[in-house]
Amino acid sequence: MEHYDVVVVGGGIAGVSIAHELAADRSVCVLEAEDELARHTTGRSAATWVAGYGPAGVQELTLLSRAFFDDPPLDVDGALATPLPCLYVGTAETPDAEASAAEVVAATGASALTPEEAERLLPVLRPGVVTTAVLDPTCAELDVHGLHQGFVRGLRARGGVVRRRARVLSARRRVGRWSVGTTDGDLSADVVVNAAGAWADQVGRVFGSEGHALEARRRSVFVSPTREPLRDLPFTCDLAGGWYAKPEGDAVLCSPEDAEPHPPGDPRPDELEVARALEAINEVTTLGLRSVRTSWAGLRVFAPHGEPVAAWDEEVPQLFWLAGLGGYGIQVAPALAARSAELVLAASR
């Protein structure tokens, strides 16, 4: 039976990022249940670095991760972060638009714009419709695939192992070690990191944990063609959180920002929510979106308190949780992985 210092369950961004950090000092094996890594949430993410996104703890990790994105200490192909200013807009119908705008300014240092300034910045806004606007110039589009692959390359360069089609079937503690049975054979480890995303509570129960009452929620995304290519336009968000849109070649990538609970698995986009977002975007802009070129959905997993879970299990020894990353997993990955690895290493020296 192969033995490792640490076994990490889950090959998404949470799993490969902490595995990369730990592999600098420990022997590490990542177990992925699917045929390929990042098939679910990570592989379906259209991530943007936004300083004011999420609760306070997430915002702290987001800020700490920015230097990593700007100057990555990984073997990556091209830039991980491309500047993409974020324009928040509200109309006379937007609930609490002024209060929401004030929150964005307080969280990010963004600048309030007059409606006229917003229309000059984003010429496709319908004249006179936007009444409240805020611009955050620090935002950036993130290369999710590049980041994930950079961590995988770094993990392997440090001697880490990745085993695909290795779904966890059983686990037991013997003489201070975990014996783990998988669909790709058995192995043992001193420490197990549960980074199984939407399946984390299920995996936790295999190891004897009561879990963290994690809830997976669907997020739909779609691409809609435009009459002409949109260049140098900002990432645009509804202040009420009802939609966002950003340039995507000769189209726009949009989301209704839906968050309906969904069981672990392969969710399909909510067609009613997509239609609602199309209508809402057309009410605010002159884009005239009429069709959907492609659409997909992913799961975002939340703990009840809204912050990521990065802690040792309270009852089960040598089981560390890295789960419940919500919709923030990509933008906090570097700092969260480093902080989590410190916790693991400090307790297992």
Residues 6+ apart with CB under 8 A from 205: 211
Q: Compute CA distances 296 → 29, 36, 267, whole Å.
A: 30, 18, 8
Co-location of 171 and 294 in the same domain:
no
CATH number of the domain to which 225 belongs? 3.30.9.10
Task: Give the pLDDT confidence score for residue 349 in this predicted structure.
Answer: 61
Task: Give the pLDDT confidence score for residue 328 in this predicted structure.
Answer: 94
Give the end of a domain, one of 286, 302, 318.
302
Token digits for 144? 């999710």
Co-location of 167 and 298 in the same domain:
no
Co-location of 95 and 160 in the same domain:
no
Co-location of 71 and 207 in the same domain:
yes
| Three-state SS at 171 | strand
Co-location of 157 and 298 in the same domain:
no
CATH number of the domain to which 37 belongs? 3.50.50.60
Give the chain's domain count: 2
pLDDT along the chain (349 residues), means of 10: 96 97 97 90 84 92 97 94 96 94 88 96 95 96 95 97 97 94 96 97 98 96 87 90 92 95 95 97 94 95 96 97 95 98 88
In terms of Cα–Cα distance, which of 40, 48, 11 is closest to 257? 48
Co-location of 227 and 298 in the same domain:
yes
Task: Give the domain range for residue 172.
Answer: 2-76+143-214+304-347
CB 44 within 8 A of CB 121: no
CB 198 within 8 A of CB 264: yes
Co-location of 49 and 108 in the same domain:
no
Task: Give the pLDDT confidence score for residue 232 in this predicted structure.
Answer: 77
In terms of Cα–Cα distance, which of 26, 12, 15, 2 is closest to 347? 26
| Three-state SS at 168 | strand
Report d(CA 258, CA 248) in Å as an integer: 20
Co-location of 232 and 246 in the same domain:
yes
Co-location of 72 and 147 in the same domain:
yes
Co-location of 153 and 295 in the same domain:
no
SS3 helix, strand, coil % of the chain, rounded to 5?
A: 30, 30, 40
Co-location of 291 and 159 in the same domain:
no
Task: Give the pLDDT confidence score for residue 45 in this predicted structure.
Answer: 84
Co-location of 295 and 321 in the same domain:
no
Report d(CA 30, CA 10) in Å as an integer: 7
